[in-house]
Structure formats: structure tokens, C-alpha cells
Amino acid sequence: MNAPLPLHALQPSPINAADADPAESAEWREAFVALAAAQGPARARYLLDELARLAREQRIGWKPELATPYVNTVGVNEQPVFPGDLAMEERLASLMRWNALAMVVRANQAESGGSAELGGHIASYASAADLFETGFNHFFHAREGLGEGQHRGDLVFFQPHSAPGVYARAFLEGRLAEKDLGFYRQELGAAGQDAQGLSSYPHPYLMPDFWQFPTGSMGIGPISSIYHARFMRYLTHRRLLDCAGRKVWGVFGDGEMDEPESMSALTLAAREGLDNLVWVVNCNLQRLDGPVRGNGRIIDELEKLFAGAGWNVIKLVWGSDWDGLFARDLTGALSQAFAHTVDGQMQTFAAKDGRFNRDNFFGQNEELARLAQGMTDEQIDRLKRGGHDLVKIHAAYAAAANHTGQPTVILAHTKKGYGMGSAGQGKMTTHSQKKFDEADLLEFRNRFNLPLSDEQARQLAFYKPADDSPEMQYLHARRAALGGYLPRRDTAADVIAVPVLPSYASFALAASGKEMSTTMALVRMLGGLLKDAALGPRIVPIVADEARTFGMANLFKQVGIYSSVGQKYAPEDIGSVLSYREALDGQILEEGISEAGALASWTAAATSYSVHGLAMLPFYIYYSMFGFQRVGDQIWAAADQRARGFLLGATSGRTTLGGEGLQRQDGSSHLVAATIPNCKAYDPAFACELAVIVDQGVREMMVEQQDVFYYVTLMNENYAQPDLRPGSEADILRGCYLFDSYARRSDIGQRPKKLEKITLMGSGAILTEVIKAAQQLAGQGIEATVYSVTSWSELARDGAACQRRALAGEPPTDAFIAEQLKTSDGPIVAATDYVRAVPESIRAFLPPGRGYLTLGTDGFGRSDTRAALRGFFGVDAASIVKAALHQLAQA
């Protein structure tokens, strides 16, 4: 039997236009309410859909409002019974709040007459603590193991500013010691004190056994969570791993939703029906400096946005204490008051006490005042928002976990700095609050009824109950029931056998002068790797768009494009050998025009070895300009997550993509790539070099299981490809090898003693120009030795390592590049298709006294032919010859 609607449902909405016929309107309302009560919500929804359809046909110009009243989506009569010990969980949450506060305040206390000023955040965790704890106690499942039938764990993305609370929980669980908490944000100092330093935010690179996902850069966590959820479906549909029963949970801030990455893939999540994805948006209504929407309502705005994108929206607004008020509210006064209260005012209510709220909220009209009668000021002050009520949170999480067909977002209303009282609750300055005076500490202690003496509170003593206490037994039992402790990062994954290089790249190793581009060579190698029985299924080809531009169309038929619904149409080019083919078990991820989405997919695949215990190897190919320059922060986050895979910057350099102009020509990606410690960046000129690099990368990642990823730049320019120089493999990988020496034929065997010599270095698209320049110089009687530089950054890293060893007092050794250049003579000229800072990075490690001149493509790009562009930037053969002659004259 359906519960009757409240009487105020029969009243006209205060936000509607003036009613021309109130009596008729009342009849419609009464009829609809009676229908819903007698025949249920399904029948009511059907009629509403019919009326909406008729309105569209009659061109009435009406559509339903996406925002619902400012109340909980899950009604009181729909709440499941809370399955835990409520009082116990509230006590544990209070202990974690205290330990998190103590950790941050300790780190920022004055030391030795100064101030540590290490930073840290208290208010964010204070608002999210109950959201976290409900997940930890009832929903966040850890990995049980990799065996048949064992749960492989949920994926949980934690709001980064709340990291202290996660550390506080790990302390109670026994995974972190009290000494560790004393080194919050002091990772270097902890090393000498037999303690583990705790990183500021979730950083898997710094805490590789603890954090799983880096979320410190706003917006990257949300988009990453969506593509991780989609990648789990990909693994399931390709029958590589059954991910059924696993969820992706993301706890994010309402201010974070303003980041474009947070919003950019919402429709993808709905289109793919990712009901394995749950977002919990912590709506404390405040950003760092003030209200998120001071003059508006962020929860209403987000509800419209997510509902419009196709998500299931659950509003978690008011706690259980409000249920009685709503039940007594027969006129809808509460709903109407909330509908007219903007977030800036709601923040003020959070910061003030019960007396202020009685006078300024409940005092707005007689109906509200009557609702507050019989309540003390303290009771009004303790009215909880939904995000602080464990019962309400559990009901919302359970509804989200059981929902099918759509991703779910829970909009949880909280107070920033909840429980911080006059020290910070709801205040504009609360985000930066990291210091408490004695009165504030005692007030916090009292607010949460903590078992601390006044002295312990003043001294910020950490508190941990005895191991055999009911609290600790309950804490461990809840996590045991959910598979173990979180967060936790595992790296166990099978070693994958890889094929020998000639089996898929013999055409590149012995090219015999055949013309091809390195992009085409890579795609051909990729096609060969995909055919390998062991490695092939683990490869994930990724492209944002323009797979045909990169010559990948032949892979459409070979492995197909992944689609969660298969292919419901006959493609226009179905009769073509290279026709477009989507399939449920397709292997290629083609993400559309979204570099951010493609990079998020790459990260999901590149970290599958740790997230799922299943090693995958992604190859993401894209216009090189749209990599580090456009989604560089995502690449940095992937490095933090210890990604393994290949980023392939096609049409690289500033002159290889002739007619495309300024914004599409890349002159700096290698400069940025060099700043990421676990990224190995290569700029090969020839297919044979590329083959050696790809082979090494595949072995490092899949066999040796090293936490590295490769950035390799490719060109779409066709030119003659040489055979691999025998014995050059090791030098190619270290960054530079002797390609050839050029001298006038008549000089061979009878060189005069004063024959002029020059050393030329080049990489990528410009190496062919360097070779032409060497040949022209040889025609002028100058011996030119050419070195192919496959990686400027690897050479620079080697040189810097040599310097560090020398400074540490170890026996000095020459840098690799200095050793290489001993086989040549004369001044050195280096040319690349990148800004001069790239070849300048090795200057300090070259042999002294030789002279070093670099040529590059500094400045903005232009639209023209390759020849014109290279002449304009001074990196063509003629410019290199001119530079060489200048160097010789200087010498």
C-alpha cells in the first residue's frame, strides 16, 4: 500500500506563475494525488510521460524541471535497517576526527622558535568523515586475492584534502604507527627516524603500498574514475577478467565539479550504462576561499547537470533529526524555505549557533517558528545535514549500490569543518585552518565526547583504544568482512612472455632503403604484436580520433573497435577491406575527440597490473602537440600511479606536420617529458631504432615489470629507411649511436693532415637533414661524423647521474655522450625539430673544448611545406651546413 502524499502536495507551487483558474488547478492536483495513492508511482510516471509527449506534440514549449525539492531522495519509509552498531561507528569516527586534527596541527606547531608551516587540511575531512566511514564499514570492498571466486576489490578515489582522515583510520587499524603520524608531510625527515613519512595527498609513487589512485590535482580523479569503470567493462566483455560485482567509488568535492575534466565524460558514463560507478559529491558548499555558489545552490545545479547527462541522482540532504520536522510540516514551509535559501546563507547558518538559526531560519514565518517550538537552542544547533548522519548515508549508499543501468551520483549535504565550532565550522577561512588554541581543542574534545583529559587534548595526544577493546574489535571485524584494509596498492601480476623482435619487426631491422614513415612502421609492428598468442590479448590500442590518419584502419578488421553494445548498423564502407568495425570484444579504444578521455583510458590500462592484478599494455597514439602540452597534468598523475605503457606522439616536431600551423605543431613535448622521472622519452628517426626501443619497452614493462612508461615520437614523413647498424642496440637505448661518417671519396685513404672535421648530431625528423648536410660538407672536403640521438633526455639523465656520483665522492666517470663523441673530432652541431632547450640539455656533459652549437624550432609554428618550414626555422640541410662552417671558422 502506498503512503499518502503530504497535504502540502495539494498546494500550488510558490515558484509557479499566477494561476488563472485555481479551482480547476486544484482538481487536477487532487486527481493526480489520488491516482498516485491508488495505483502507485509506476502508473503516475506513465501518465506524466504521456502528458509530456502530448505537450511536445502540441508545441506547448514546456519541459519538466530537472531539479527536485531540497529533500532526501530516499524517503524514511524506504530506508533499509542500519546493519551496524551505530553508537560504535560514531565513536570510531570521532576518534579518527581527533587523530586527523592532531596530526595536522602538530605538523604546523612552532618548532625551535620558528614555524614548520607544512600545511595540511582539517576542514575537508571534518565534512567528509562520515561519508568515508560508512563506505569503510559497509561498502568499500578490498581485494581478497587473485584466485577463482575471490573478490578483486572495489576502486576507491578519495577526496585528496581528506588524506589525514585516511591516515588516522590506518593508524587505528595498525597499518601506520604513531611515529608515522608524527611525520605527516615530512617524508624526508622520516627516513632518518625509522618512520614512514606521510605524503600530503594520495600519491602512489611516494607510498606505493598504500595509495592506489592519485587525486591531488582537481578534476583528474573524477574523469579517471569514469574511465576505470569503463575499462572494467572492457576487460569483462573481452573475457580477460570478470569484473562483475566490483564498484568504482569516488568521493569528490562540490568545488571540484567546476573543473572541466570532472564534467567532460559524464555522458560517456551514462551512455555506457556504468552502474558499477558511484560518485559521492561532498557538498559542503565551500571552495577554498568561500561559497561554491554563494548566490545560487550547488546541489540543485549539480542535480540538473547529472540528471541531464543521464545519471541516477540521489540527494542526501538532511539527517534523521529532520524527519520529525518534515513529518509535522503540513504546509510545506520547510521545503519552501529551503527553496529560497542560497548557499551563501546556508553557509552562514552552518557557522552560527542554535540561537542564531532559531531567529534567522525558523523565525522567517509562523509555520517555521511552530516547527521549532519545544526544541532547545542546542538541539537546533545539532540538527545534522544528511552527510553527517550514518543512517542516512547508508541508505543512500545502499540505493546507489543496488541501482542498475546508470551511474549514480550522491549529492551529500555537509558542513565544511563540521564539529570545529568557533575555530572553523562553516567559516570562510576554514579551508586553511590548521592551528587550534587550547579552548578550541577542548571544545572539539567535548563536541565529540572524546576520552581525553584536558592535558592530553592540549598536548594533541593521539588516541588509540586497546587492541582488545570493543571499538578495535569492531573496526577490524568490519574490514575483515569486506576483504581487508583500504586503501592498499597491490602489484602482483603474472609475467607475460613477449615475442622476439624479428618476429614482428624484421621489415624495420632490414629495411634495405624502403621508404616509409615511422608512424606506419609502428602500426605495422603493433599489428604483429597483436597476433602474438601470449602478448596480443593484453595489448590495448588507443586513439582519440583519426585512426585512419595514423594508418590504423587495417586494425579495425583485425581486432575491432570496442563497443559495449556491439555494432547495430551496417557501416557505409562495409564492403571495404578497411571497413569500420565495432564489436563487444573489440580491442581498440577509440575515444572520439577527447585527448583527456583517451589519456584516462590509457591510464586505466597502464595501471591494470596493480588495480586488477592483470598486466595490460596500452599504446596510445595521438598528435604529439595534444599530449604533454594539453593533458600533461593527467600524464603526471599517471606517472604518480606508476603507469606502464606507450605514449606515441605522432606527427611530431614543428616541421613534420607541414600545413597545420601554430597550434598543432609540437616543439616542446620532449622538454616536458624529460621532467617526469619514470618517463623514458625517445625521438627515433628510423624504423630500426623504433623497433629496438619498442622491444625494450615491452620487455621492461611486461617481463621485468618495471614501473616506467615510454614516450616515443613518430613522423608521418616517408623517407628511405636504413638497416639496423650491427651492435648499435645498446647505444640506441642509452640515447645516441654513431650513424656514419662522410668524407669526399678522393680523400679516403689519403687524407691530408689538416683535413677539417665536424661532428653533427640529430634526432627524429631532422636527422635526414643532418645526413644531407654531412654529405654536402663532405663534398666541400670536410669530414662529417653523424650521430643519431634517439633520446636527449636519457643522455641528460646519464650525465646528471655522473655528476651526482662525483659530488658524492665516488670515482669520476665520463658521461655516456662524452664517451660516444670520443670517436669523432671537431666542433659539434646539434639539430632537432624541437626548441633548442632540448639539445641544450646535454651541453654540460660534452667533451670540453669542442664547441657546441644547437639548432631548433623556437617560436610559433607556421603553415607551409616541410622544406619551407625547415628553412624558416634554420634546421634544414643548408642551415646545418652554414652552422657547421661557422663553427669550423670559430675553431
Q: DSSP labels for 664-711? A: G--SSHHHHHTTSTTEEEE--SSHHHHHHHHHHHHHHHHTS--S-EEE
Above 80 in pLDDT, residue 770? yes
The angle at the Cα of 232, spanning 230 to 234, to the nearest 5 degrees, equals: 70
Question: Looking at the predicted structure, is the pLDDT value of residue 4 above 70?
Answer: no
The percent of residues in the chain predicted with pLDDT above 70, rounded, is 94
d(CA 155, CA 279): 12
Run of H or E residues at 295:
none
Q: Cell 577527447 belongs to which residue?
A: 594
The mean pLDDT value for 119-138 works out to: 88
Q: 686 and 721 in contact (C-beta within 8 Å)?
A: yes
Kindly state the average pLDDT of the residues 291-311.
92
Residue 293 pLDDT class (50, 70, 90 cuts): confident
Q: How many CB atoms lie within 10 A of CB 179?
A: 12
Contacts of 279 (CB under 8 A, 6+ apart): 222, 225, 249, 250, 251, 252, 407, 408, 409, 410
Residue 652 banded pLDDT, cuts 50, 70, 90: very high
Instruction: Read off the pLDDT of residues 654-673 as tens digits, 9 standing for 90 and up.
Output: 998 877 888 889 999 999 99
Q: What are phi and psi of 251, to 5 degrees?
A: -105, 110
Q: Are 343 and 284 a contacting pair, CB within 8 Å?
A: no
β-pairing, 719-720 vs 828-831, is unpaired
What would the grid cell of residue 65 be? Answer: 524541471
Does residue 426 have a pLDDT over 80? Answer: no
Q: How far is CA 694 from CA 639, 697, 814, in A?
A: 19, 5, 28
What is the distance between the alpha carbons of residues 731 and 817, in angstroms, rounded to a whole number?
A: 10
- What is the spatial distance between Cα 637 and Cα 150, in angstroms, rounded to a whole number? 29
Tens digits of per-residue pLDDT, 704-749? 999 999 999 999 999 999 999 999 999 999 999 999 999 976 555 5
- % of the chain at pLDDT higher than 90: 72
pLDDT of 625 higher than 80: yes
Residue 261, judged by CB atoms within 10 A of its CB (0-12, 13-18, 19+), counts as buried
Amino acid 113: pLDDT? 37
- Integer Cα distance of 42 and 196 in angstroms: 56
Quickly state the pLDDT bin for 13 (edges 50, 70, 90). Answer: low
Q: Could you tell me how far CA 586 lies from the centroid of its own chain?
A: 24
Q: Mean pLDDT over residues 203-207, rounded? A: 95
Confidence grade of residue 434 (pLDDT, cut at 50, 70, 90)? low
Q: How confident is residue 149, by pLDDT bands cut at 50, 70 and 90?
A: confident
Grid coordinates representing 72 are 532526501
The length of the chain in residues reads: 891
Q: How many CB atoms lie within 10 A of CB 568?
A: 7
Say what the pLDDT of residue 769 is.
98
In 3D space, the residue among 634, 626, 673 whose CA is nearest the CA of residue 652 turns out to be 626
Name the maximum alpha-carbon separation found in the chain: 114
pLDDT at 114 over 80: no
Span 473-499, average pLDDT: 96
Identify the top-confidence range among 69-73, 197-201, 391-395, 589-593.
391-395
Higher per-residue pLDDT: 105 or 210: 210
Residue 1: which pLDDT band, with cuts at 50, 70 and 90?
Answer: very low
Label residues 409-442 b or e (16+ Cβ within 10 Å = b): bbbbbbbbbbbbbebbbbbeebbebbebeeebbe
Beta pairing partners, 155:
248
Kindly report, residue by residue over 254-266, the tens digit of the pLDDT.
999 999 999 999 9
Q: Are 79 and 386 in contact (CB under 8 A)?
A: no
**798 pLDDT higher than 60:** yes
What are φ and ψ of residue 249, in 5° steps?
-110, 135
pLDDT band at 442, cuts 50/70/90? Answer: confident
The residue with cell 615530512 is 186
Average pLDDT, rounded, for the chain: 91
Give the span between the Cα atoms of 512 and 507, in whole angstroms. 9
C-alpha cell at 587: 580491442
> Is the pLDDT assigned to residue 105 strictly greater than 70?
yes
pLDDT at 170: 97
Q: What is the mean pLDDT of residues 329-356?
A: 88
pLDDT band at 349 (very low <50, low <70, confident <90, very high): confident
Contact call for residues 891 and 827 (beta carbons, < 8 A): yes
Per-residue pLDDT at 294:
86
Please list the helix, strand and coil fractions of the chain in percent, rounded to the nearest 5, in that order: 45, 10, 45
| Amino acid at site 856 | G
